[in-house]
Amino acid sequence: MTNIQNPSEKIKNATTALYMLVGAIGLANQATAATVTPHRAFYEMQLGVADQNSNVQAVSGRSAFTLDRDCDGWRSNEEYLIEFGGKEGSRDRILSRFESWESDKGDMYSFDISENSSFEPAKDFGGYAEIKTGGGDAYFSMADEVAVALPADTYFPMRHLNAIIDSAENGKTILAASVFTGAKPDDALLSTNTVIGGWRGEEATIPMGEFDQDGYWPVQIAYFKPAATAAAPEYEIHYSMQPNGVIRRYVIDYGDFTIIAKLLKLESVETPTCP
């Protein structure tokens, strides 16, 4: 077995953040009648760089993301299959599915996770959370007796990324926030620091069809445990994000190795007619 310290939660959080980033653009632009385009995106995942002492020396996989609307919120569905290779030629696999929903008001959030890997027992659990004026709570199907208290200023992912877009539009390049993403109780609430870069006018490297736009914004999000004192984050995610919500490329940085996800193709998604 490759000792990869189970990066699946971090990968799941990365892909969750990807979906919520896309959805936030739609919320941020609703006032101007320009919304994100619901879509399905397929990515190829591979090793970026790895330190000499990293336990992971090879990565290959595919992921598929679907972002869709319902009449009172955003739904996302993410599936990925990733294989990790170790120093001595060992191999481990992770097959995962993550679904989430967040209300347009940003006060309710639910998620479901199903995961199989070659190094841990199968997982199948979910949860929900709600924020009110004085704070909120999160509950988990795998730990009925556990409720995670959420401070009043906690963001769910969609609302958090909406704040990132608002910051970018107002010329702010730094945003710090506590974010509940949905995971195991110990990993569900994280502190984040976001750096928002300037517009890059570059054409896409693959045919984009109806989703084509002439550039993107670079966005970098660092994730920390709430009580962490170390300067280094648990992990970072770097996105190349178009105004219509399509992510051309993203990189998950674990410190000793990185995973690069490159866009392969896009498909349109039908949306419901709402009153």
16-54, pLDDT tens digit by residue? Answer: 555 444 444 444 444 333 356 789 999 999 999 999 888
Which is more confidently placed, 87 or 180?
Answer: 180
Distance CA 247, CA 261 (A): 10
Q: Give residue 117's domain range.
A: 8-268
Q: Angle of helix 157-169 relative to helix 8-29, nearest 10 degrees?
A: 50
Residue 274 placed within a domain: no
Residue 183 placed within a domain: yes
How many domains are there within the chain?
Answer: 1
Residue 258 placed within a domain: yes
Residue 171 placed within a domain: yes
pLDDT per position as a tens digit, 101-134: 999 888 999 999 999 988 888 989 899 999 998 8
pLDDT at 245: 78
Strand partners, 13: none
Distance CA 131, CA 111 (A): 15
Residue 273 placed within a domain: no
Residue 174 placed within a domain: yes
Residue 1 placed within a domain: no
Q: What is the mean pLDDT of residues 92-108?
A: 91
pTM of the model: 0.82
